[in-house]
């Protein structure tokens, strides 16, 4: 599950460019912080975590479901 921390995200779009599967795009609306955070396409995401590693603001994390 891709979790966005909208308090940390500054809408820079690094994660969008870093994602090899184009699973992220910046939302059209600005949030309360005036930022356009990324929106995730869960299916396309392969959990490679490149977005996590690239994010300058620690705002995107891939939460592992509790696999058996």
Partner 1 sequence: MKQASELYETYLRTDMLPTILCSGCGAGVVLNATIRAIDSLKMDLDNMVFVSGIGCSSRLGAYINADSLHTTHGRAIAYATGVKAANPDLEVVVFTGDGDCVGIGGNHFIHGIRRNIGINVIAINNYNYGMTGGQTSPSTPQGSVTTTTQYGAFEHPFDIAQLAKTAGAAYVARWTTSHPLQLQKAIRKGFSNKGFCFIEVLSPCPTSYWGRNKVRNPEEMYQWYKDHTIPIGRAEEYPEKIPIGELVNVEKREWTEQWASLVRKVSP
Binding region for partner 1 (CB under 8 A): 7-8, 10-14, 16-18, 35, 49-50, 52-59, 61-64
Closest approach of partner 1 to the CB of residue 6, in Å? 10
Which residue lies nearer to partner 1 by CB, 45 or 52? 52
CB-based contacts of 58: which residues, under 8 Å, 6+ apart? 5, 8
CB 43 to partner 1: min, Å = 21
Q: How far apart are CA 45 and CA 47, in angstroms?
A: 6
């Amino acid at each position: 599950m891709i979790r966005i921390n909208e308090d940390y995200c500054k809408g820079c779009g690094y994660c969008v460019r870093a994602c090899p599967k184009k699973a992220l795009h910046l939302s059209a609306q600005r949030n309360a912080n005036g930022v356009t955070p990324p929106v995730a396409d869960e299916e396309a995401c392969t959990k490679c975590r490149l977005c996590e590693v690239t994010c300058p603001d620690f705002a995107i994390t891939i939460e592992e479901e509790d696999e058996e």
